[in-house]
Amino acid sequence: MTLRVHINHERLKEQLDQIREKLDDSIQVTTGPDLPAHADYHVLVDGNPSKEELAASPDLRTLVVPWAGVSEAVREMVLQYPQVSIYNLHHNAAPTAETAMALLLSAAKFIIPFDQALRRNNWSIRYEPNPSVLLLGKTALVLGYGEIGQRIARVCQAFGMRVWGVHKHASPDSQLIPGIQEFPVEALRKLLPDTHVLMLSLPLTPETKGLIGEHELNSMPPGGLLVNVGRGPVVEQKALYEALRDKHLCAAGLDVWYNYPKDDSIYQNTPPADYPFGELENIVMSPHRGGQGGTEDVEVMRMNQLAELLNALAHNEDAPHKVNLHEGY
């Protein structure tokens, strides 16, 4: 049987020849954004599909969102098409985890303010009390213990930290990585008073939105660190800003935010949050580039994982990274 696939994603369309080389002969591919004259595709590859794209083909059975995570708008829309399953690509787990560790080290060691001072030929910061945080012996809680979180956990463990992995489906007997204890999300509040470093790699769902608020941040010991490479609204922005401003949190590193530019006309004039995080010295700010890594390398990984997914679908095999529409990830 022929598997017909329609791709509406700019980078993947540019790499169409390379993708075709990796696909089974039974797979036919068309590209958008214009719909085929007679839409009969079984699979749509599009991160932000329109209702027209979902409704155009009566044969549509699969939507592939070519990154990790599904927006609430897409999730609600696809729920109206019960015959359609959603799959993600998790090709960028490694670069996202690398970014998390870069943010952690930069925040813990105050690399940016030290760098800025020395660029002004100012050595005085070397002789002042050192604000840096020693990670050795501290407890890191990785909230969102999937492919990204497990990579983060391994590195924290290598730094000599005690590491806890928290995820929705943890059981008393589960141990994905030797030496790392796992807990269900319900245990979070009990764990936070002993958490020095909070690493967030959660998707945004109705359950995770605002999961970390004022109570949770204040439950952490004074002088803690927070890194977020999941989604911004998992952490309440007012509570985070005040915890950093008042120095309850020693420092933070963020790659995900609350406000994003809607088009390129305002790329250079869009505050990433409703609070002036940029005025704080104890935060490292990154413009949501964590999953991009070395751009060409990551695009090759995306292309390879898409081909693997489509080949599995063509052979009616279990395909990786199916999204539970009701849970949102």
Q: What is the pLDDT of residues 13-39, one digit of tens each?
A: 778 888 889 999 999 999 888 888 889
Asked whether the predicted pLDDT for residue 1 surpasses 90, the reply is: no
pLDDT 10s digits, 194-249: 999 999 999 999 999 999 999 999 999 999 999 999 999 999 999 999 999 999 99
Asked whether the predicted pLDDT for residue 318 surpasses 80, the reply is: yes
Segments in the chain forming alpha helices (H) = 10-14, 16-22, 51-56, 72-78, 93-108, 111-119, 147-158, 188-191, 214-219, 237-245, 295-314
Distance CA 179, CA 140 (A): 13
Which pLDDT does position 10 carry in this prediction?
A: 79
The region of weakest confidence among 92-101, 277-286, 290-299, 317-326 is: 290-299
pLDDT tens readout for residues 36-84: 888 999 999 999 999 999 999 999 999 999 998 898 899 999 999 999 9
Confidence (pLDDT) at 294: 62
Q: CA–CA distance from 165 to each of 92, 168, 212 (Å)?
A: 20, 10, 16
Q: What is the pTM of this model?
A: 0.93
pLDDT (tens digit, 9 = 90+) per residue, 108-130? 999 999 999 999 999 999 999 98
Q: Which domains does the chain have, with CATH numbers?
A: 3-91+296-314 (3.40.50.720), 93-285 (3.40.50.720)
> In angstroms, rounded to a whole number, what is the distance separating the alpha carbons of residues 160 and 138?
8
- CA 237, chain centre distance (Å): 17
pLDDT tens, 240-276? 999 999 999 999 999 999 999 998 899 999 999 999 9
295 has a pLDDT exceeding 90: no
Strands 283-285 and 249-254: parallel
pLDDT at 118: 97
Distances (CA, A) of 228 to 1, 47, 107, 216, 305: 44, 22, 12, 15, 25
* Strand intervals (E) in 139-248: 139-143, 162-166, 181-183, 197-200, 224-228
Q: Which residue has the higher pLDDT, 326 or 182?
A: 182
pLDDT over 70 (residue 155): yes
pLDDT tier at 98 (50, 70, 90 boundaries)? very high
